[in-house]
Amino acid sequence: MTGSDDPAEFRLAYVPGATPAKWVRIWRERLPSIPLTLVAVEPAEAAELVESGGVEAGLLRMPVDKTRFNAIPLYAETTVAVVPKDHLVTAADEVTLADLADEIVLHPLDDTLGWTELPGKPALERPATTADAVELVAAGIGVLIAPQSLARLHHRKDLTYRPLTDAPESRMGLVWPQGDTSDLVEQFIGIVRGRTVNSSRGQSPAEVEAARGRKKQAKDGKGRGAAKGTSAKAGPRGGAGKGGARSSGSASGARRGKPKRRG
């Protein structure tokens, strides 16, 4: 995608637990004439949506396929153990994987922690999603290890969580398709990396908006030109255009000539 192909808005996908609010606010301050639309997407569908062009970029959990995507790591999340409120591990402020060795640890299909070896005892079946796993924890079937943002997202009054000191971390990244990077994606990269408005990297927000304004005017001008061309041809085809009427009257006057004066 190139800058000339930018759509009328910047569409940003985000998976559950992602927190784009601060960057969205900065975008709207810097580029008020270019809407930013947030698109919530499930982890299993996120990569396909970005690659197909359904959005310009996405806040996804890493890693992603580097042969298909460009990616910028943004931040790592604390990993926690989600347990019932009366569980033994709640007596401590932090726990380790060894503290869960005798527990059934649920491993949902949308897990992105990248385990080399799963902790605890495996469940008979893997839950389809993290949300399903939380319901099983509430039913007393096991415990769940997940990014803290997902533990907060699926909060229940009968559950709590504790940080795990030796578990893999979930990393969030900004992801967009391989190929040319559009002006709008460059703008969002600048925002998430903390660049100022006057940064020399790429076009400034004002330049982006001005360029898009010129493109819109050029497009509107072509549309008006085409409409005028159609109107001009209407007279000869219909035989009664305004130009034709004036021409006919002028010819009639020439035939009559000037009136003769009486002696």
In this prediction, residue 254 carries a pLDDT of 42
* Equal CATH topology for 3-76+171-209 and 79-168: yes
In this prediction, residue 241 carries a pLDDT of 45
Q: Which two tokens stand for residue 146?
A: 């997940």
Question: Which architecture characterizes domain 3-76+171-209 according to CATH?
Answer: 3-Layer(aba) Sandwich (3.40)
Q: Which two tokens stand for residue 176?
A: 């967009």
For the chain, give percent helix, strand, coil, nearest 5: 40, 20, 40
Interior angle at CA 210, CA 206 and CA 212, nearest 5: 120
The whole-angstrom separation of Cα 200 and Cα 19 is 27
Domain assignments of the chain as residue spans, ordered by start: 3-76+171-209, 79-168
In this prediction, residue 196 carries a pLDDT of 86
CATH topology of domain 79-168: D-Maltodextrin-Binding Protein; domain 2 (3.40.190)
In this prediction, residue 251 carries a pLDDT of 42
Pairing of strands 36-40, 121-122: unpaired
Q: What's the average pLDDT block by block, 10 residues per block, for the chain (263 residues)?
A: 61 96 96 96 95 97 94 96 97 97 96 90 94 97 97 96 96 95 95 82 62 60 57 45 44 46 47
pTM: 0.73
Q: Which two tokens stand for residue 32?
A: 């008020």
